[in-house]
């Protein structure tokens, strides 16, 4: 039963991660895909330590406790909190609606691929016992939630060479 609870926690964390990465990618686009401007915006608007990120840190600490590791009920409760936060973030509309550009979508996809590759590597290399591997992956999944702005900035940095080629076409691909 504990393994199923870990899998539910991982799925909830991934849903919440998708919502957070979309939020971060939107504001990276608002800051003209400039990592330094985006990071300055994070610090100036207290977004780096906002309520949703502090909640994720609390869940991360709770996941590392012995109580959470032994009780599947605690894991389900933590997953429910992450699921509620993810649904809330998906339903939330930005103050100034601006469609995502192609480059923003590529940055978002790259961040998700990096995260899934990291989670897969930890799950594969972590342990031969399925429960221990799920525990490590669940803790890493919640950790990626806490560092989602850094994932977006890393993805933007990785895609920088492709942005220069497609810079002219990016303004044309916004949809009304």
Which residues in the chain show pLDDT less than 50? 172-176
Work out the burial of residue 125: count CB atoms within 10 Å of its CB; fewer than 13 is exposed, 13-18 middle, 19 or more buried: exposed
Rounded Cα distance between 141 and 133, Å, is 12
**144-163, pLDDT tens digit by residue?**
888 888 999 999 999 988 77
CB 59 within 8 A of CB 78: yes
């Amino acid at each position: 039963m504990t393994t199923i609870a870990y899998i539910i926690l991982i799925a909830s964390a991934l849903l919440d991660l998708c919502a957070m990465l979309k939020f971060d990618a939107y504001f990276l686009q608002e800051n003209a895909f400039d990592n330094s401007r985006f990071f300055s915006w994070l610090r100036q608007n207290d977004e780096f330590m906002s309520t949703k990120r502090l909640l994720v840190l609390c869940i991360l600490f709770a996941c590392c406790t012995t109580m959470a590791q032994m009780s599947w009920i605690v894991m389900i409760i933590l997953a429910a909190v992450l699921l509620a936060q993810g649904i809330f973030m998906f339903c939330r509309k930005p103050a100034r609606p601006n469609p995502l550009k192609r480059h923003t979508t590529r940055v978002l996809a790259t961040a998700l691929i990096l995260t899934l590759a990291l989670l897969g590597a930890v799950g594969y290399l972590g342990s031969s016992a399925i429960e221990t591997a799920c525990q490590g992956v669940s803790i890493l999944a919640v950790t990626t939630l806490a560092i989602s702005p850094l994932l977006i900035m890393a993805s933007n940095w990785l895609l920088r060479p492709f942005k220069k080629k497609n810079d002219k076409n990016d303004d044309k691909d916004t949809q009304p």
